[in-house]
């Protein structure tokens, strides 16, 4: 089918080189009314901010653009319309040319021919994606006046990579469609009038250069001086207390996340709040309860797109989906689990592939897809099944027609497909897995976890699969740590098959423990000669493990039940008497 290909651009597929620029690159995206908004922005921007500015406008491909000349009238910075590859320099403004897409590769702006599916604009999304991939935490994106939702998908990549996102106040914008769509993602850091944005950027850049974070936990990498040792100890103590605060207020455990990931996400909060170090942020967090959900949101940022890593999904469609259906009889069920589903795009992508294969069989099995994440706000977006119109960048036209309905500037998954996906809150490090699964998609989740727990996660995923079931991982992940349990189906695209070896009952082995990057004190072991009542022991466990629960002795007798467990069981709270 000629129209099955989406507009191709994924930074991982394009093998873009990381930028060596040491200053922020600010991407400004605008459409209708946007030229005036950009002019107002530059008019209030000093000529020596130490940043570079890239302006991506929706331009007619049929006419020359004078936007660079118009913008040059309001700024002392040189303004250049990009007509050939150019190395980015600070204190300059670069403007997209008609009939072109702009991308970043290393510290260079590159060009490609304009491709627009069905006359829909995606130039801002495409630039933001490459900006995020190449420039990472020094990427800044700004959404200004415009219709539609271009930029709403790309800005999520900027946030995923540690950058900052701003949007023009919708009530100030001449056309509020693009700012409103960006704000609806829940990922915008600042919603401001255009005139206030330059000052905020200067403040962010000044603070970013003063932030101090602890380094790796490696004695060989530390400078052994009294002052540095004291600062390091203070930072480590603050980091532990920040994690404990986050846990006590939200119930989420980040102890098994990679240290670098934790520090990178906290660094974003330091930057946004103009704070210099971890001890200062700890005090800020203690005094401002409202900061807690914002920190949690940054910790949980997990970005996905429909059919992200297109070649991998094509391999799944070609090699795996037909094999799964070949094993199921009419009346049976094909079961898939998308672990770490974020806002649901990956779950619906998998379901589309399953549904397409289902139509090829005269008496096909039913389909059930479980989509889980610990981010309840992301799950809510998945349940709503409504996405910005800029998903045309990722969804092939044939699937867009088949599985989506258009609602103003958004696309909504059709009811028939939506009903096949069950969204639920689930913590892969804590909660029991689903079972008898044909396919598990767990992509770009383990890259954030310590190696010490990756093997435990793989063991749990193996237990959840049927013998011969398939595991689909992210491009930077592998099942090598569980080589006896999984065989390689497609190494390049990270597809594995569960080996039919002997299986015992799955018992979670991840420790309960308090949160913190370093180990916080665990429950103290009771002396052997001290009797600890079941209620007391159970209550101590509950301090570390919040869901409703039942305490069971080795002989499977129920010895204590929490109050909330009564919502699910007939037992009353307390010690069961076992009397009739």
State the Cα–Cα distance between residues 369 and 365, nearest whole angstrom. Answer: 13
Regarding whether 36 and 122 lie in a shared domain, the answer is yes
CA distance 371 to 380: 11
pLDDT in tens, 429-451: 888 889 999 999 999 888 888 88
Residue 314, domain member (yes or no): yes
Do 330 and 445 fall into the same domain?
Answer: yes
Q: What is the model's pLDDT at position 37?
A: 95
Q: Which CATH number is 384's domain given?
A: 3.40.50.150
- Residue that terminates a domain, selected from 282, 300, 318: 300
> CA 273, CA 160: separation in Å to the nearest integer?
18
Q: Which residues contact 285 (CB under 8 A, 6 or more apart)?
A: 242, 245, 291, 292, 295
Residue with token string 């793989």? 458
517 part of a folded domain: no
How much is the pLDDT for 481?
A: 78
Query: What pLDDT score does 217 carry?
Result: 58
Would 366 be classed as within a structural domain? yes
Same-domain pairing of 328 and 358:
yes
Residue 515 in domain: no
Q: What is the pLDDT of residue 559?
A: 67
Whole-number pLDDT of residue 223: 42
CATH at 53: 3.40.50.180
Torsion of CA 129, 201, 121, 61, to 10 degrees: -110
* Dist. CA 71–CA 60, nearest whole Å: 18
Q: Write out the two tokens for 411.
A: 């696309």
Is residue 442 in some structural domain? yes
Q: Is residue 159 located within the same domain as residue 245?
A: no
* Domain closes at, from 463, 498, 533: 498
What's the pLDDT score for residue 515? 35
Look at residue 572 and tell me if it is in a domain.
yes
Statement to judge: residues 268 and 328 lie in one domain: no
Q: Which CATH number belongs to the domain containing residue 223 in this structure?
A: 1.10.155
On whether both 151 and 21 belong to a single domain, the answer is yes
Is 273 in the same domain as 131?
Answer: no
Question: Are 357 and 462 members of one domain?
Answer: yes
Task: Work out how many domains the chain is built from and give that number.
Answer: 4
Domain boundary among 479, 498, 517: 498
483 and 360 in a common domain: yes
What are the beta bridge partners of residue 79? 93
| Residue whose C-alpha is closest to residue 373's, from 296, 314, 450 | 296
Domain residues for the domain of 64 are: 11-208
Residues 291 and 341 in one domain: no
387, part of any domain: yes
Residues 281 and 330 in one domain: no
Tell whether 228 is covered by a domain: yes
Instruction: Give yes or no: residues 326 and 231 share one domain.
Output: no
Confidence (pTM): 0.74
**Within the chain, which residues score under 50 in pLDDT?**
1-13, 118, 218-226, 511-532, 543-545, 571, 580
């Amino acid at each position: 089918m000629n129209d099955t290909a989406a507009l191709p651009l994924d930074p991982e597929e394009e093998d873009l080189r990381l930028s060596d620029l040491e200053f922020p690159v600010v991407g400004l995206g605008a459409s209708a009314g946007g030229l005036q908004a950009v002019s107002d922005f530059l008019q209030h921007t000093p000529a020596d901010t130490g940043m570079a500015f890239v302006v991506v406008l929706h331009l007619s491909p049929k006419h020359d653009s004078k936007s660079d000349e118009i913008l040059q009238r309001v700024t002392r910075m040189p303004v250049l319309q990009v007509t050939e590859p150019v190395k980015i320099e600070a204190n300059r403004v670069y403007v997209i040319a008609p009939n072109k897409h702009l991308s970043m590769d290393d510290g260079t702006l590159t060009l490609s021919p304009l491709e627009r599916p069905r006359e829909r604009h995606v130039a801002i999304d495409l630039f933001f994606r490459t900006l995020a991939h190449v420039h990472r935490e020094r990427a800044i994106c700004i959404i200004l006046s415009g219709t539609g939702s271009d930029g709403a998908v790309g800005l999520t990549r900027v946030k995923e990579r540690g950058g900052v996102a701003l949007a023009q106040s919708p009530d100030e914008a001449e056309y509020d469609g693009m700012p409103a769509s960006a704000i609806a993602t829940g990922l915008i850091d600042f919603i401001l009038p255009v005139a206030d944005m330059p000052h905020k950027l200067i403040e962010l850049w000044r603070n970013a250069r003063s932030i101090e974070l602890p380094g790796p936990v490696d004695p060989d990498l530390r400078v052994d001086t009294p002052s540095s040792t004291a600062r390091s100890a203070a930072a480590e103590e603050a980091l532990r207390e920040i994690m404990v605060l986050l846990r006590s207020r939200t119930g989420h455990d980040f102890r098994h996340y990679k240290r670098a990931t934790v520090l990178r996400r906290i660094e974003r909060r330091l930057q946004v709040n103009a704070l210099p170090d971890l001890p200062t942020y700890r005090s800020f967090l203690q005094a401002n309860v409202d900061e807690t959900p914002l920190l949690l949101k940054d910790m949980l940022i997990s970005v996905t797109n429909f059919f992200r890593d297109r070649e991998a999904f094509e391999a799944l469609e070609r090699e795996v989906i037909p094999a799964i259906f070949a094993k199921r009889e009419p009346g049976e069920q094909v079961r898939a689990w998308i672990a770490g589903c974020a806002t649901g795009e990956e779950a619906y992508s998998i379901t589309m592939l399953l549904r397409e294969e289902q139509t090829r069989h005269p008496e096909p099995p039913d389909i059930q897809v479980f989509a889980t994440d610990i981010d309840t706000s992301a799950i809510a977006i998945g349940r709503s099944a409504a996405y910005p119109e800029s998903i045309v960048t990722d969804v092939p036209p044939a699937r867009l027609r088949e599985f989506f309905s258009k609602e103003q500037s958004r696309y909504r998954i059709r009811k028939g497909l939506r009903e096949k996906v069950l969204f639920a809150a689930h913590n892969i490090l804590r909660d029991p897995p689903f079972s008898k699964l044909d396919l598990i998609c767990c992509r770009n989740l383990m890259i954030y976890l310590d190696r010490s727990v990756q093997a435990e996660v793989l063991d749990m995923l193996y237990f959840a699969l049927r013998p011969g079931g398939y595991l689909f991982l992210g491009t930077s992940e592998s099942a090598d740590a569980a080589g006896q349990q999984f065989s390689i189906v497609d190494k390049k695209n990270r597809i594995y098959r569960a080996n039919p070896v002997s299986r015992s009952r799955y018992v979670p082995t991840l420790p309960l423990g308090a949160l913190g990057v370093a180990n916080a004190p665990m429950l103290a072991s009771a002396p052997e000669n001290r009797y600890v009542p079941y209620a007391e022991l159970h209550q101590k466990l509950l301090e570390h493990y919040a869901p409703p629960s039942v305490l069971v002795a080795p002989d499977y007798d129920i010895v204590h039940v929490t109050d909330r467990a009564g919502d699910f069981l007939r037992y009353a709270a307390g010690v069961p008497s076992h009397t009739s």
